[in-house]
């Protein structure tokens, strides 16, 4: 008899609501393991503030080592007021930055999908966002957040001066652009590259490198260019004009948070951080919700676990090539919402709000239902 397919998963719940939403995501992982008859070998480790408290560092070398040997890392969220006074070299957020750097994960993928049952939860008019489905590909290992020189100095007249450097090289631009073009080939085949080529040299190089790569290898995909300020405006005015957006670190950071609000709640949006694929799989890769540790609601059992559960769906699709199961998880989330399941962040005034655990239950219930229906029609 052939043994079960095995996947090694490293789980880093982190701080605040991280462990609360991770519990629900792991119930889904367990369910999928039984349903698809695959074996997930799961290891847990501390990251962020929890690791600072336990070991004095946001991430142990040993945890990085475990991540390198895992097929995927499922990450919760890190940070909180308790660690805010620590220096930049000891902040909880360094856990995720270090993980990305050491695993060479340079592309952060943020799907922005509007779920029909939640269309009223957005502050934008329904007709502007109905059926919205765009993907933001953010370069996340370079640009302004990592460029040198950087620092703070005191000038001769006693004034302080802070400085950072925005820098992008051909290799850095090409590898993230390839991710965007490859994704677009499985979607509507339109990539919009976003920079500030009108006022920055790094933006100009970004535009030239992407244009050449497009001409050379991706002529079957349409390439558009847009300045970042215009993109911010267009995302609110007419977001459905976009298919895949590719951009650098800082613009990606800001535009993806802006785009997340088109969908109504931060608690709904997953993300994947990937590097160069190994064959047809992204291994290793990190999957995490886009929200943070939400200290204002941590410990109350009311956080929305959907973003973490939908991160599991992305992991199944991109790292394990389990497309059928990924779709099953996404459909179960939509069905739970359609059946009226709402955590406090989604509930309208007067509407009953579910706890984190109850929302997990609602998704598991829909998984059972959808899987049952599939078997009947198979």
| Buried-state track 188-222, b at ≥16 Cβ within 10 A, e below 16 | eebbbbbbbbeeeebbebbbebbeebbeeebeebe
Told to check if 239 binds ligand NAD by CB under 6 A, we report no
* Binding-residue pattern over the window 276 to 305 for ligand NAD, x denoting contact by CB under 6 A: ------------x--xxxxxxx-----xx-
* Binding-residue pattern over the window 21 to 40 for ligand NAD, x denoting contact by CB under 6 A: x-------------------
* Residue among 124 and 297 whose Cβ is closer to ligand NAD: 297
Catalytic: 4?
Answer: no
Told to check if 193 binds ligand NAD by CB under 6 A, we report no
Query: Which of 49, 98, 146 has its CA nearest to residue 273?
Result: 98
Told to check if 259 binds ligand NAD by CB under 6 A, we report no
Q: CB of 290: closest distance to ligand NAD in angstroms?
A: 7
Question: Out of 9, 25, 46, 77, which residue is the one contacting ligand NAD (CB under 6 A)?
Answer: 77
CB 287 within 8 A of CB 244: no
Query: Which of 107, 56, 32 has its CA nearest to residue 323?
Result: 32
Query: Which of 343, 367, 368, 345 has its CA nearest to residue 353?
Result: 343
- Phi first, then psi, for residue 98 (nearest 5°) are -70, -40
**CA 318/CA 183 separation, integer angstroms:** 11
* Residue among 248 and 267 whose Cβ is closer to ligand NAD: 267
* Residue among 97 and 204 whose Cβ is closer to ligand NAD: 97
Question: Out of 32, 50, 70, 96, which residue is the one contacting ligand NAD (CB under 6 A)?
Answer: 96
* Residue among 99 and 192 whose Cβ is closer to ligand NAD: 99
Question: Out of 8, 60, 93, 225, which residue is the one contacting ligand NAD (CB under 6 A)?
Answer: 93
Catalytic residue among 53, 116, 220, 229: 229
Catalytic residue among 35, 145, 217, 361: 145
Catalytic: 157?
Answer: no
CB 7 within 8 A of CB 71: yes
* Residue among 308 and 319 whose Cβ is closer to ligand NAD: 308
Catalytic: 61?
Answer: no
Q: CB of 36: closest distance to ligand NAD in angstroms?
A: 26
Told to check if 73 binds ligand NAD by CB under 6 A, we report no
Strand-pair partners of 160? 154
* Binding-residue pattern over the window 323 to 362 for ligand NAD, x denoting contact by CB under 6 A: ----------------------x-----------------
Catalytic residue among 133, 217, 257, 361: 257
The CA–CA distances, whole Å, from 80 to 15, 151, 158, 174, 345 equal 7, 24, 33, 35, 19
Told to check if 63 binds ligand NAD by CB under 6 A, we report no
Q: How far apart are the first and last CA of the chain?
A: 24
**CA 299/CA 82 separation, integer angstroms:** 14
CB 117 within 8 A of CB 337: yes
Q: Which of residues 260-279 bind ligand NAD (CB under 6 A)?
A: 266-267
The CA–CA distances, whole Å, from 155 to 87, 142, 148, 149, 162 equal 22, 28, 19, 16, 10
Q: CB of 291: closest distance to ligand NAD in angstroms?
A: 3
Q: Which tokens hold the place of 348?
A: 């309208």
**CA 193/CA 10 separation, integer angstroms:** 33
Cβ atoms within 10 Å, residue 233: 11
Catalytic: 168?
Answer: no
Catalytic: 196?
Answer: yes
Which are the catalytic amino acids? Answer: 145, 196, 229, 253, 257
Q: Which residues bind ligand NAD (CB under 6 A)?
A: 17, 21, 77-80, 93, 96, 266-267, 288, 291-297, 303-304, 307, 345
């Amino acid at each position: 008899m052939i043994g079960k397919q095995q996947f090694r998963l490293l789980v880093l719940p982190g701080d605040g609501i991280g462990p609360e939403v991770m519990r629900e995501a792991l119930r889904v992982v367990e369910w999928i393991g039984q349903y698809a008859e695959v074996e997930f070998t799961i290891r847990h480790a501390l990251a962020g503030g929890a690791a600072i408290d336990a070991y004095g560092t946001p991430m142990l070398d040993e945890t990085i080592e475990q991540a390198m040997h895992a097929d995927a890392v499922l990450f919760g969220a890190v940070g909180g007021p308790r660690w805010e006074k620590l220096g930049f070299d000891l902040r909880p957020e360094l856990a995720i930055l270090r993980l990305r750097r050491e695993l060479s994960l340079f592309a952060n993928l943020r799907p922005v999908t509007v779920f029909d049952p939640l269309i009223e939860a957005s502050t934008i008019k329904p007709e502007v966002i109905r059926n919205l489905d765009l993907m933001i590909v953010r370069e996340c290992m370079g640009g302004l957040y990592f460029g040198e020189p950087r620092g703070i100095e005191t000038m001769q007249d006693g004034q302080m001066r802070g400085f950072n450097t925005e820098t992008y090289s051909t290799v850095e631009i090409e590898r993230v652009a390839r991710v965007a073009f490859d994704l677009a080939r499985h979607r509507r085949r339109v990539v919009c590259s976003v920079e500030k080529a009108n006022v920055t040299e790094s933006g100009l190089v970004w535009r030239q490198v992407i244009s050449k790569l497009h001409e050379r290898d991706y002529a079957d995909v349409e390439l558009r260019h847009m300045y970042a300020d215009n993109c911010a405006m267009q995302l609110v005015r007419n977001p459905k004009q976009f298919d895949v957006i590719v951009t650098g670190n800082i613009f990606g950071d800001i535009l993806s948070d802006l785009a997340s609000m088109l969908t109504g709640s931060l608690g709904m949006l997953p993300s994947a951080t990937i590097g160069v694929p190994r064959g047809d799989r992204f291994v290793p890769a990190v999957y995490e919700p886009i929200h943070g540790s939400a200290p204002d609601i941590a410990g109350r059992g009311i956080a929305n676990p959907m973003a973490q559960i939908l991160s599991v769906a992305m992991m199944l699709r991109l790292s394990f090539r389990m497309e059928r199961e990924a779709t099953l998880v996404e459909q179960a989330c939509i069905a739970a919402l359609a059946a009226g399941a709402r955590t406090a962040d989604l509930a309208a005034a007067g509407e009953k709000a579910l706890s984190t655990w109850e929302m997990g239950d609602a998704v598991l219930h829909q998984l059972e239902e959808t899987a049952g229906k599939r078997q009947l029609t198979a």
